[in-house]
């Protein structure tokens, strides 16, 4: 417990959008049972007031007809079974609209609160939930304790409301003996609606408070530490160490390709030590000379070393080397540099005679 407390103390940062989305995909959404109960009560009261007059009257007429024929029913088991079945059917027809509407409201409210979230994996049995230790933790959790306290408060409040309504109906009890069945039914329905409206108002207050608590509690449980945020950023952008290693590998491969291009270059133009640019030119082609490799400092030294090993001519021309270094690799030189580069290549071509050596810096 101490470790859990210390771990939660480190989680001082609000959850990121990615963490909230991941929690939603895992089924962790802010779902208030009290809001759902409020909607069910509201739907129940609406349907009840709209259908009770017709359905209740029809139910009473059928039941009255059934009771009037009660003395004519043969005293055998089959006849009693048929009478009971008819009574149950009439009761089911009376309750059907209420039950169906309440079920529809429960499903709709759940879908609205979860944002139309559907998780097929939630249907797969979780064996870990059968663990007695996990069950005990769930029972004594803060959430369940709050739910128990909330249920107790609701029981006391609703009980007090119903007791007060019942007390209010006592003064009409002496008069009820002279009422007709229809009048008595109407009075009972009016008192029932009155009590339900009071309970609905109280449930509305409870639902608002529960909605606030549910969302707050969910965000508190999803809080993140600075380390969690760093790890999430690392997962999203890639590990900096891995990215640095990959960049290093790409640079090494690019250098290897440039060194291979240097071995086949026509000439290397240098600064003489800070810059080295390898040019390639083919006499049979009308294309301009191309920059096939370039480098500065250490890479420039490797280019010169590879050129010496492959007997590629090296020419020192600092202004031209600095200018050519600004060009991208594998690009043709612009017309502004045609004249100085052409002079160098022409000079190199003249030196390519048996026994001659190319100039070196």
Domain boundaries along the sequence of the chain = 16-117+135-234, 258-351
How many Cβ atoms sit within 10 Å of the Cβ of residue 322? 14
Res 227: pLDDT: 82
Q: Nearest-CA neighbor of 45 among 162, 159, 196, 207?
A: 196
Res 211: pLDDT: 86
What's the distance, Cα to Cα, between the start and end of the chain in Å? Answer: 74
Share of the chain above pLDDT 70, in %: 71
Res 278: pLDDT: 92
Which tokens sit at 194? 């009155």
* Superfamily the domain 258-351 falls into: secretion proteins EscU (3.40.1690.10)
Contact at 8 Å (CB) between 19 and 224?
Answer: yes
Res 358: pLDDT: 47
Res 20: pLDDT: 76
β pairing state of 275-280 and 314-316: unpaired
143-184 pLDDT, tens digit each = 777 778 888 888 888 888 888 877 777 777 667 667 766 676
Between the CA atoms of 346, 348, 354 and 356, what dihedral angle is there, to the nearest 10 degrees?
A: 130
- Chain mean position to CA 51: 43
> pLDDT-derived band of residue 4, with 50, 70 and 90 as boundaries?
very low
What is the rounded average pLDDT for all residues in the chain? 77
Number of alpha carbons in the 13 Å side-chain half-sphere of residue 89: 8
pLDDT at 360 over 70: no
pLDDT at 62 over 70: no
pLDDT at 5 over 50: no
Q: How far is CA 333 from CA 16, 84, 299, 347, in A?
A: 50, 102, 21, 18
CB-count exposure of residue 51 (10 Å: 0-12, 13-18, 19+): middle
Which tokens sit at 284? 């049979």
Res 274: pLDDT: 87
Res 117: pLDDT: 60
Q: Nearest-CA neighbor of 196 among 49, 28, 350?
A: 49
pTM: 0.48
214-224 pLDDT, tens digit each = 888 888 888 88
Res 361: pLDDT: 45
Q: How far is CA 275 from CA 154, 323, 334, in A?
A: 83, 10, 19
Element (DSSP H or E) covering residue 22: helix 17-25
Which tokens sit at 334? 């612009």
């Amino acid at each position: 417990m101490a470790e859990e407390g210390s771990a939660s103390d480190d989680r001082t940062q609000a959850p990121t959008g990615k963490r909230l989305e991941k929690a939603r995909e895992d089924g962790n959404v802010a779902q208030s049972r009290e809001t759902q109960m409020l909607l069910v009560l509201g739907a129940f009261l609406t349907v009840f007031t709209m259908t009770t007059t017709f359905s209740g009257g029809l139910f009473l007429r059928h039941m009255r007809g059934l009771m009037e024929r009660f003395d004519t029913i043969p005293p055998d088991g089959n006849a009693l079974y048929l009478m009971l079945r008819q009574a149950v059917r009439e009761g089911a027809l009376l309750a059907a609209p209420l039950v169906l509407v309440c079920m529809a409201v429960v499903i709709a409210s759940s879908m609205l609160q979860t944002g139309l979230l559907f998780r097929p994996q939630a249907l797969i049995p979780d064996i870990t939930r059968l663990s007695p230790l996990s069950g005990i933790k769930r029972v004594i959790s803060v959430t369940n304790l709050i739910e128990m306290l909330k249920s107790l408060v609701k029981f006391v409040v609703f009980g007090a409301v119903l007791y007060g309504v019942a007390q209010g109906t006592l003064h009409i009890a002496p008069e009820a003996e002279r009422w007709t069945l229809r009048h008595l039914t109407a009075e009972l329905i009016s008192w029932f609606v009155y009590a339900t409206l009071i309970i609905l108002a109280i449930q509305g207050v409870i639902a608002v408070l529960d909605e606030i608590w549910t969302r707050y509690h969910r965000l508190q449980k999803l809080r993140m530490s600075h380390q969690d945020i760093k790890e999430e950023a690392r997962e999203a952008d890639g590990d900096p160490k891995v990215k640095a290693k990959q960049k290093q590998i790409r640079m090494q491969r690019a250098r290897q390709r440039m060194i291979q291009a240097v071995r086949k270059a026509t000439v290397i133009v240098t600064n003489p030590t800070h810059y080295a640019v390898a040019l390639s030119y083919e006499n049979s082609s009308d294309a301009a000379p191309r920059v096939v490799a370039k480098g500065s400092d250490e890479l420039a030294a490797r280019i010169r070393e590879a050129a010496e090993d492959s007997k590629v001519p090296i020419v020192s021309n600092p202004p031209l080397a600095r200018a050519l270094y600004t060009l991208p690799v594998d690009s043709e030189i612009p017309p502004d540099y045609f004249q100085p580069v052409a002079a160098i290549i022409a000079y190199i071509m003249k030196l390519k005679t048996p026994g001659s050596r190319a100039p070196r810096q």
